[in-house]
Amino acid sequence: MTLTIPLVLLLAAVLALLLRFRALGAGAAVAAALFGFYLADTGAADTVNQLVNAVTGALAGTGR
């Protein structure tokens, strides 16, 4: 997936904004990051990647 690094940076920015505006506590942010880290090591990772590819493909197709 070519969107991996930009998507990671986007999600990191969203997490930082949630922390900045206190919509999410530090403990919850750590839990969310660890959840994503461990989710990537499960069998669900392929399903998540396919879902993200489908969503980004659909969003890219709407601009044409």
Could you give the CA distance from residue 42 to residue 63 in angstroms, rounded to a whole number? 33
| Residues contacting 56, CB < 8 A, separation 6+ | 3, 7
Q: What pTM, to 2 d.p., does this model score?
A: 0.61
Tabulate helix, strand, coil % of the chain (nearest 5).
Answer: 80, 0, 20
Read off the tokens for 3.
């969107």
Sequence ranges of the domains in the chain: 4-62
Question: What is the per-residue pLDDT across 19-60, written as a single tens digit (0 to 9) for each?
Answer: 899 898 999 988 888 888 888 888 888 898 898 889 888 888
Could you give the CA distance from residue 31 to residue 48 in angstroms, rounded to a whole number? 18
User: How many residues belong to the chain?
Assistant: 64
**11 pLDDT higher than 70:** yes
- 15: Cα separation from own chain's centroid: 9
